[in-house]
Amino acid sequence: MEGDQDPWVTLKAWFPELDESTWIPLQNYISFLREWNAKINLVSRKDTDRLEIKHLAHCLTITKFLRLMPKARLLDVGTGGGLPGIPLAICYPQAKFTLLDSIGKKVMVVEDMAKRLNLQNVEVKRGRVEELPRKKSFDFVIGRAVTALPTFFDWVQNKIAKGAKHSPANGILYLKGGDYTEELESSGLHPAKIWNLDELLPKAELGEKFLIHFKI
């Protein structure tokens, strides 16, 4: 990002396709996240001044590729401070989001932020994804640097209903940092699509960040 430009001006330039009505709740969310992060370590404290670019922009890249029909069901695993689940719930009000984390304090914080944002399409749960019922309840499962790709795939593949009414087709959307090739080769997993997010938003300086889609 160039100079001291307002990060929200920058984000609007990077994501012009987002509805104008999404920006106020997104700004409120970042304000709440910054407030809570001073009390509970939700994201790295060294990123506090760059939450908009370092974290929000990273999560919003999903909106460049994801098209959801009404009543879509998404699960955000290891939501932490609500990333990427809360920003996506703001951007896709027609969809239902379940935000899952195993740490009680984080669940409490995300519940508070979702309530203050009046997000009617968000449910927050405490638990581990591998302990959820083996029901194909979701159209997409989303994760952001939760664990190794093969482990994540094993945890969630039986939670996803097959379907192709959304774009891309139902499956896993995983935000991955660093090299992913060894994990894929050793596991035999074959993604349907891999997007290079640094190429998508070069001025964000995201580094080696990828969005990986596995079709179920």
**pLDDT, tens only, 38-97:** 999 998 887 888 899 999 999 999 999 999 999 999 999 999 999 999 999 999 999 999
Cis ω for the linkage preceding 84 (within 30 of 0): yes
The pLDDT value given to residue 136 = 86
**Token pair of 51, please?**
């939450």
User: What is the Cα–Cα distance from 211 to 59, expressed in whole angstroms?
Assistant: 10
The pLDDT value given to residue 1 = 46
The pLDDT value given to residue 79 = 97
Sequence-separated (6 or more) residues with CB below 8 Å from residue 84: 58, 59, 62, 76, 142, 144, 175
Are 83 and 109 within 8 A, CB to CB?
Answer: no
7-215: CATH number: 3.40.50.150
The pLDDT value given to residue 4 = 65
**What pTM does this model have?**
0.95
User: What is the Cα–Cα distance from 192 to 215, expressed in whole angstroms?
Assistant: 6
Quick one: which of 148, 146, 204, 142 has its CA closest to 173?
A: 142
* Strand blocks (E) in 18-150: 73-77, 96-101, 122-126, 140-144
Residue spans of the chain under pLDDT 70: 1-4
Token pair 């998404």 in the structure block, residue? 74
Query: How buried is 186 (Cβ within 10 angstroms: 0-12 exposed, 13-18 middle, 19+ buried)?
Result: exposed
Which residues are paired to 96 by β-bridges?
73
Query: Count of alpha carbons within 13 Å of 83, Cβ hemisphere only?
Result: 26
Residue 205's CB: how many other CB atoms inside 10 A? 12
User: What is the Cα–Cα distance from 80 to 197, expressed in whole angstroms?
Assistant: 21
